[in-house]
Amino acid sequence: MSRPPKCRRVEFLPELTYFKPAGVPMKDLAEVILSVEELEAIRLKDLMGLEQEECAVNMNVSRPTYHRILSAARAKVADALVNGKAIRVEGGNFQLAVRRYRCTGCGNEWEAPCKRGRNLGEIACPSCSCAEVRRINHDGTLFNCSRWRDGIEQGSCKE
């Protein structure tokens, strides 16, 4: 028996999961199934504009694996647009990433899933409601990457 594929790390769970062409009755409609990690692959590369290497790291997969997921995702979206099919976002093999935060007011630390359109400025401490919040690593140090500096997101999320 082959081992199950490694879980892909996903930061975004869509609220809308069904897209259909206007004016086509449901019974005549063919659909393509886009997995949650395929949507994440498109989001990172084509919406956020990350380099392929960054996308692979983000999803915790190798670069060839990321490339395979992205190619499959793009082919499905193209099939839907060109051939007038509906897109259903469903299933897959992924783990939803959580982010860790610390309140600079009261020192409270907590974890929350990454959510669509939620910028750091909109997050308040669940304990004291203070908005002076920093994103931190699991060891408590301030989170840094190309988009975050010392726990503060640079620019805002476009989704």
List interacting residues with Zn ion (CB under 5 A).
103, 105-106, 108, 125, 127-128, 130
Indicate the residue among 69 and 133 with the shorter CB distance to Zn ion.
133
Beta carbon of residue 134, minimum distance to Zn ion (angstroms, whole number): 11
Are 91 and 36 spatial neighbours (Cβ–Cβ below 8 Å)?
Answer: yes
Pairing of strands 86-89, 31-34: parallel
Indicate the residue among 98 and 130 with the shorter CB distance to Zn ion.
130
Beta carbon of residue 98, minimum distance to Zn ion (angstroms, whole number): 18
Indicate the residue among 81 and 130 with the shorter CB distance to Zn ion.
130
Rounded-to-integer distance, Cα 105 and Cα 16, Å: 35
Beta carbon of residue 25, minimum distance to Zn ion (angstroms, whole number): 53
Rounded-to-integer distance, Cα 139 and Cα 126, Å: 20
Backbone angles phi, psi at 44, to 5 degrees: -65, -45
